[in-house]
């Protein structure tokens, strides 16, 4: 393993290994993949947000020439026990009902049936001929309504779980989370500043470019192969095995290129339907969602209602009390638990009492979205922090520094932090021009916010083969969402002391490489990078043994550097890497190194963002003038890609803060197009500046931390604080759209009058 001073490949800027394939169109995405005889699958979706399904008649659809199969919930086996997913989990029984409705449609867009036909137009025509008899029920439109005792029940068998106990009556509240320490009531009495506010955020979508797409083939012997654009091949396999009640060796999942995911492509949406259509028709089936389906029927980010009460004693954040209500959509499993941890993560709090509510409503079931649950929670908490700093006439960065966590301090869940870099991040902000250069002009303001993410670890597997010509073939089990093949190439090249072009990286299917968890949670460079390091070291150890055999010494007497295996203390005795590589096709056989990681220590991530805005008082439009993202990345294996992650997360957070929201009308989504669902474009964003801070993580070979999640956490809070400075008005609801900002300005003017 190389030292910091010796590193020649990692830590350097490198071109993405898949760049040429993507720009030339060679890369195969879900919609590109097809086999001879492929049928096209389409889904019939409920027009109602809440309805009993009394009868489904698809006889007319099946009679259409070219239609080869129709499936409904009646074709699926009864779901077993257990859970599935990645950062957010869902019960298998709920997943089965999410994939295709059973007795009730629980959101507008809920799959009711699926058709496979010789072309997509025939399949669409057949959908119109399926007759469904609905009994329409009143919808639960939001989490606050859903919590009321008189609210319609989505599931009469759902009871609230709280502190290990179950409620006596059915409820739309699935779970209540509790976090508490200290004497909160007494602490508030001792505070010199106490602030209590309510915050609200809307449902938003991840906004990935590529819609969900997959193909499936069930062979004559029942063996299933699925080609899909998912964030985890083994994750898809596990869900299919559980839903279809099959042995593991009967399902193979092949990853295709993926055009973005951000947490939204973890739960199977089309794969199970495609498998059942293939089984019925005896032919391969391909399914691709439309953009309208993506927005209506996949897994957006959770809307929230948050109430926070915070108190300061002296200059310390001394007490926090909160209520976090997260809308899970049609089935439980919102990111409320993570939200609690993220909100309080950057701060030492001796006394706290917070509750989190996971509530079901008649909306699409939420999925993970980049630091799931973190953005709305941080928006509320970072707004509170600025309000407290303002009440104390203290610089908001200085307040965050004095109250920021360090190694050994407790997270909200009472787990101690290992090595972290929040202090270093805030010190960089404090001394940086983006914070210190004066901002001049009316209706201009500057805001800052901190962000935290725990970082996932989970299981990763990799294997590296030394080829006879000295090149290396590296295979991982991790779907490449963000250019991680490039990072893995760099790590492997570093360990072997070769140039990156000598390493070819591929992502294996579920029968070619060891089990690997989902690509998400900021875990791939951290966890998979460690697996690649271990695989490389395993292969090098095998080569050391071969060198020792040739040089007549023990393996522990061999050292490897600069392409040579040498005897320690006797450098004249040596054998080259290339010479040993050639032995892989002779008597000694192949050299294949394996690396598996399953129990790394947490590598928490911290960030802080500074933003300057100008608000147009005539329209309420917020213009982002300058933006700087600061982040502790542990160690930047490829600074270019790290910067891209920081900029991408900030861009999505800006959209969440200023423009993006689902618009509902009695449970019906009214803006299910990218014309009406307003994601920011290059015209809406300034150049996002990045400041990389490197405080090595406690575990792993390089001190790497994940970087992909935490950049989306601070933007909403930073922008809310900037808008408050610019206008003298604080907004407690996202997005801070022109309409909401203008209304706030006019309300302020009325109050003055």
- On whether the pTM is more than 0.85, the answer is yes
Average pLDDT over residues 156-185: 96
Q: 3-state class of 494 per DSSP?
A: helix
State yes or no: pLDDT of 232 exceeds 80: yes
- Is the predicted pLDDT of residue 3 greater than 70, yes or no? no
Domains of the chain: 19-26+457-597 (3.30.365.10), 39-137+209-260+265-297 (3.90.1170.50), 304-455+602-752 (3.30.365.10)
pLDDT at position 588, please?
83
State the pLDDT confidence band at 6, using cuts at 50, 70 and 90: confident
Sign of CA dihedral 743, 745, 751, 753: negative
- Residue whose pair of structure tokens reads 């001073």 in the numeric block: 5
Task: List, as one string, the DSSP characters of 251-297.
Answer: EEEEEPB-S--TTSSSS-SSHHHHHHHHHHHSS-EEEE--HHHHHHH
| Res 80 pLDDT > 90 | no
d(CA 575, CA 586): 16
Of the two residues 510 and 572, the one the predictor is more confident about is 510
- Dist CA 554 CA 567 (whole Å): 9
Distances (CA, A) of 446 to 205, 655, 656: 27, 18, 18
| Residue keyed to tokens 């891209």 | 644
CA distance 655 to 663: 15
pLDDT-wise least confident of 15-19, 205-209, 234-238, 708-712: 15-19
pLDDT at 79 over 60: yes
> What would the two tokens of residue 311 be?
């108190």
Q: How far apart are alpha carbons 138 and 154 in whole angstroms?
A: 10
Asked whether residue 354 carries a pLDDT value surpassing 70, the answer given is yes
Model pLDDT for residues 558-613, shown as the tens digit of each residue: 999 999 999 999 988 999 999 999 988 877 899 999 999 998 999 999 999 999 99
Q: Are 525 and 536 in contact (CB under 8 A)?
A: no
Residue labelled with tokens 């932090």: 417
Token pair for 147: 């919590």
pLDDT tens-digit map of 532-545: 999 999 999 999 99
Write the CB contacts of 65 (distance below 8 Å, at least 6 apart in sequence). 122
Q: pLDDT of 355-406, one tens digit each?
A: 999 999 999 999 999 999 999 999 999 999 999 999 999 999 999 999 999 9
Structure tokens at 181: 């320490």
The 558-561 sheet, strands edge to edge: 558-561, 564-567, 570-576
Q: What tokens were used for 264?
A: 């939204």
pLDDT tens, position by position, 612-664: 999 999 999 999 999 999 999 999 999 999 999 999 999 999 999 999 999 99
pLDDT at 87: 87
Q: What's the confidence (pLDDT) of residue 4?
A: 61
Check the CA dihedral 715-717-721-726 and report its sign.
positive
Q: What percent of the chain has pLDDT over 90?
A: 94
pLDDT digit string, tens, across residues 104-150? 999 999 999 999 999 999 999 999 999 999 999 999 999 999 999 99
Peptide bond into 83 cis (omega under 30): no
* Residues pairing with 308 in the sheet: 197, 322
- Interatomic CA distance for residues 503 and 275, integer angstroms: 36
**DSSP calls for 43-60:** EEE-SSSSEEEEEEE-HH
Give the containing element (helix H, strand E) for 91: strand 89-91
Strand partners, 288: 213
Give the C-alpha separation, 540 to 528, whole Å.
Answer: 18
pLDDT band for position 5 (cuts 50, 70, 90): low
């Amino acid at each position: 393993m190389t030292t910091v001073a010796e590193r020649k490949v990692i830590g350097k800027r490198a071109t993405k290994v898949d760049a040429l394939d993507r720009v030339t169109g060679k890369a195969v995405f879900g919609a590109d993949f097809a086999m001879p005889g492929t049928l096209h699958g389409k889904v019939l979706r409920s027009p109602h947000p809440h309805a009993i399904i009394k009868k489904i008649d698809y006889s007319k659809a099946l009679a259409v020439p070219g239609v080869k199969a129709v499936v409904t919930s009646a074709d699926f086996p009864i779901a077993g026990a257990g859970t599935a997913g990645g950062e957010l989990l869902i019960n298998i029984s709920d997943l089965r009902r999410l994939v295709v409705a059973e007795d009730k449609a629980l959101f507008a867009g809920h799959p009711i049936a699926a058709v496979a036909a010789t072309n997509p137009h025939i399949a669409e025509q057949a959908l119109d001929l399926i007759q469904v008899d609905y009994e329409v029920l009143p919808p639960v439109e939001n989490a606050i309504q859903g919590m009321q005792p008189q609210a319609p029940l989505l599931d009469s068998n759902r009871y609230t779980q709280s502190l290990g106990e179950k409620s006596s009556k059915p409820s739309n509240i699935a779970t209540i989370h509790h976090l508490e320490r200290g004497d909160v009531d007494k602490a508030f009495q001792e505070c010199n500043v106490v602030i209590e506010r309510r915050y609200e955020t809307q449902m938003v979508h991840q906004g990935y470019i590529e819609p969900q797409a997959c193909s499936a083939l069930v062979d004559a012997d029942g063996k299933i192969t699925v080609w899909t654009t998912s964030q985890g091949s083994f994750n898809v396999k596990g869900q299919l095995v559980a839903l279809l009640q099959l042995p593991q060796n009967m399902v193979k999942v092949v990853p295709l290129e993926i055009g973005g995911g951000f947490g939204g492509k973890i739960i199977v949406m089309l794969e199970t339907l495609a498998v059942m259509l293939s089984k019925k028709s005896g032919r391969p089936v391909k399914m691709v969602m439309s953009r309208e389906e993506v927005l209506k029927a996949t897994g957006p980010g959770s809307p929230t209602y948050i109430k926070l009460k915070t108190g300061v004693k002296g200059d310390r954040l001394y007490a926090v009390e909160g209520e976090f209500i997260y809308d899970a959509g049609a089935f439980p499993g919102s990111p409320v638990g993570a939200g609690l941890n993220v909100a309080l993560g950057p701060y030492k709090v001796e006394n706290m009492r917070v509750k989190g509510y996971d509530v079901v409503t008649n909306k699409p079931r939420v999925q993970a979205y980049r630091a799931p649950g973190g953005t709305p929670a941080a928006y509320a908490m970072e707004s509170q922090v600025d309000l407290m700093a303002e009440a104390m006439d203290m610089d908001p960065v200085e307040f965050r520094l004095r109250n920021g966590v360090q190694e050994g301090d407790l997270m909200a869940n009472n787990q101690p932090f290992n090595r972290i870099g929040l202090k270093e991040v805030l010190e960089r902000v404090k001394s940086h021009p983006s914070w210190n250069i004066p901002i001049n002009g009316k209706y201009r303001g500057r805001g800052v916010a901190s962000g935290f993410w725990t970082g996932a670890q989970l299981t990763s597997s990799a294997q590296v083969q030394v080829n006879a010509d000295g090149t290396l073939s590296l295979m991982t089990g991790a779907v490449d969402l963000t250019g991680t093949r490039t990072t893995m190439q760099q790590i492997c090249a570093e360990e072997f002391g070769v140039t990156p072009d000598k390493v070819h990286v591929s992502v294996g299917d579920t029968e070619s490489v060891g089990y690997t968890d989902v690509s998400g949670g900021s875990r791939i460079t951290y966890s998979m990078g460690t697996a690649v390091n271990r695989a490389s070291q395993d292969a090098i150890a095998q080569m050391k043994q071969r060198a020792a055999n040739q040089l007549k010494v023990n393996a522990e007497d061999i050292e490897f550097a600069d392409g040579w295996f040498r005897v320690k203390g006797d450098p004249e005795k040596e054998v080259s890497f290339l010479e040993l590589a050639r032995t892989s096709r002779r008597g000694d056989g192949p050299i294949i190194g394996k690396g598996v990681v399953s129990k790394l220590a947490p590598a928490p991530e911290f960030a802080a963002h500074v933003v300057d805005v100008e608000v147009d008082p005539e329209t309420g439009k917020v213009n982002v003038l300058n933006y700087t993202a600061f982040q502790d990345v542990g160690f930047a294996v490829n600074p270019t890609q790290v910067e891209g992650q920081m900029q991408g997360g900030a861009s999505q957070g800006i959209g969440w803060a200023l423009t993006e929201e689902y618009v509902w009308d009695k449970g019906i989504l009214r803006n299910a197009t990218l014309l009406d669902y307003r994601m920011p474009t290059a015209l809406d964003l300034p150049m996002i500046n990045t400041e990389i801070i490197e405080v090595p993580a406690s575990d792993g070979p390089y001190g790497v931390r994940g970087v992909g999640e935490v950049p989306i956490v601070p933007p909403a809070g930073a922008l809310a604080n900037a808008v408050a400075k610019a206008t003298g008005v604080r907004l407690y609801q996202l997005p801070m759209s022109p309409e909401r900002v203008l209304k706030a300005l006019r309300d302020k003017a009325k109050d003055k009058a």
